Amino acid sequence: MNKEHIEGKAKEVLGKAQQQLGKAIGSKSQQIEGLKKQVAGKAEHMMGDVKAVLKDAAKKI
């Protein structure tokens, strides 16, 4: 697990919380911002996956 995995997962969790808060208070803008954070977090997590695969591949060379 690397920095991108941790930070990406944190963004996903915070985004989900923000989205749920937006639903609870009836704020579409908060819901949208929460979804944006979730997508950004998933992308960052995937970047961590790519880095991990490349690191493993470099060790095998």
Domain boundaries, the chain: 3-60
pLDDT digits (tens, 9 = 90+) for 4-60: 989 999 999 999 999 999 999 999 999 999 999 999 999 999 999 999 999 989 988
User: Residue 56 — φ and ψ, nearest 5°?
Assistant: -65, -40
- Residue 1 reports pLDDT greater than 90: no
**pLDDT the model gives residue 17:** 98
The one-letter amino acid code at 28 reads K
Instruction: Give the distance from CA 39 to its chain's centroid.
Output: 6
Q: Give the predicted TM-score (pTM) of the model.
A: 0.84
